[in-house]
Amino acid sequence: MPKKETVKKIIPVNELESNQFTDVIELERKITPDSEKRVDHIFVKRKKICKANPSEIFFTEETSRFDVPWPEEAKMDSNEEVSENQSINVNT
């Protein structure tokens, strides 16, 4: 039984941002390109400070890893015309 070809669906990445309840501070970011898969591997280390309750302000550290695909290259269209001539002989 032949294997089904998997289709990769690109999901946009929304990075965590600061808001009125949480401050986000980026501590470290590493970007590693991968030419075989045509993506950039991104590793991010963040510090999140929760300030929703002023009497219980606390912080946590988080690490995340995600891939960002490279943009597709423009393909050059060939303007050459290809014509095929075939003769078919049918014997009855």
Q: Say whether 31 sits in a helix, a strand or coil.
A: strand
Q: Show the tokens assigned to 91.
A: 């014997």
| The predicted structure's pLDDT at residue 7 | 65
- Convert the pLDDT of each residue in 12-71 to its tens digit: 778 888 999 999 999 999 999 988 888 899 999 999 999 988 889 999 999 999 888 887
- 11 to each of 44, 62, 67, 69, 83, how far by Cα in Å? 18, 21, 10, 10, 42
Percent helix, strand and coil across the chain, each rounded to 5?
5, 40, 55
